[in-house]
Amino acid sequence: MNKPTILTGDRTTGPLHIGHYAGSLANRLQYQETHEQFLLLADSQALTDNAHNPEKVRNSVIEIALDYLAAGIDPSLSSICLQSHLPALTELSMLYLNFVTVARLERNPTIKEEIRVRGFGRDIPAGFLCYPAAQAADITAFKATVVPVGEDQAPLIEQTNEIVRRINATAGGRILPEAQAIIPKAGRLPGIDGKAKMSKSGGNAIALSASSDEIRRAVRAMFTDPNLLRVEDPGSIEGNVVFTYLDAFDQDQDGLAELKAHYQRGGLGDGKIKARLEAILQELIAPIRTRRAQLAEDRGYVLDVIRAGTDRARERTEATKRDVVSALGLFQL
């Protein structure tokens, strides 16, 4: 009657925003009831492209743990654990790097795209090129069979499974399970300016800890239909960020369908649709913000949660490492 294991988590490069909520955090609240869930605070992975800014990576550890707890992650159901404190992950990473070629890493579409976006060119840090092997270590060390990922990250799971098959073939048995990617229905939320990626550094995000004023200002500034000049004109919902967000957060989907029809026919101004979205976001974020502020007062509790989750994770990942070492017939003292 074991529940299937999910591994998920976030790079610790800044607090979470409502894009994270829609894309992953909301689902995790469900999964923690049905799955054994590990939430990895991926500080080591964050260093692969932030090695010269370790302070940002360090400070984000507590920020994200606060976001998790404030959003409703229950540490008695989910284990919040810290990647850098799980040495089995680096041991398996280094081992897996021997089972994947440089050419294969360079062909990985996720890596190719991220190299392009970050402008690395040939000066890509080796750790960044290697992170698919590190991610394979993360996933397999937990023996996770379910990994929720964005659509653009699916090739990483395929690469993980290639490594799994090689390890199993060398060991002559099914030591590690293959993992299945779950791609959430809600795609990635755009920024409030309509750009594809919502990010704190891009200044186009609404933080999960946003104040009431910040939410109001962000919704007012939100990109809609630039061709809608008068209320009576028909408006477009394609690329209209307000509707994209309403799709993600509005529970009343019938009401939303009517609203869309009205907007498209004309006679409904941006003020109305923004008011609706703002009310929804204020209602979503207010309790998270309150709880987050309370938790932030008790850093000791948050550290205890991370310590306990990391202890559970350490037990699991060390056991897997021992399994792999033993199955491959490596030397054991």
Tokens 């939100």 belong to 222
252: which DSSP letter? -
Selected range binding a copy of itself among 26-34, 178-186, 237-245, 299-307, rule: CB under 8 A: 299-307
Here's the x/- map for a copy of itself, 119-138, by CB under 8 A: it reads as ---xxxxxxxxx--xx----
Contacts of a copy of itself in 91-120 (CB under 8 A): 91, 93-95, 97-103, 105
- Minimum distance from CB of 64 to a copy of itself (Å)? 11
Q: What letters, b where the CB count within 10 A reaches 16 and e where it falls short, cover 268-300?
A: bbbeebbebbbebbeebbeebbeebeebeeeee
| Cα distance between residue 158 and residue 324, in whole Å | 20
| Cα distance between residue 41 and residue 16, in whole Å | 12
Helix axes 87-96, 131-141, angle to 10 degrees: 120
Sheet holding 180-182, edge to edge: 78-82, 36-42, 5-11, 146-148, 180-182
In the bound state with a copy of itself, the residue whose beta carbon lies nearer, of 58 and 217, is: 58
Q: Quick one: which of 261, 286, 293, 303 contacts a copy of itself (CB under 8 A)?
A: 303
Here's the x/- map for a copy of itself, 12-31, by CB under 8 A: it reads as x-------------------
CA angle, corner 24, sides to 32 and 161, nearest 5? 85
Q: Quick one: which of 18, 25, 61, 208 contacts a copy of itself (CB under 8 A)?
A: 61
In the bound state with a copy of itself, the residue whose beta carbon lies nearer, of 110 and 240, is: 110
Which of 14, 17, 71 is CA-nearest to residue 190?
17
Contacts of a copy of itself in 162-181 (CB under 8 A): 170
In the bound state with a copy of itself, the residue whose beta carbon lies nearer, of 29 and 171, is: 171
Binding site for a copy of itself (CB under 8 A): 12, 43-44, 47-49, 51-52, 54-55, 57-58, 61, 82, 84-85, 87-88, 90-91, 93-95, 97-103, 105, 122-130, 133-134, 170, 303, 306-307, 310, 325, 328-331, 333
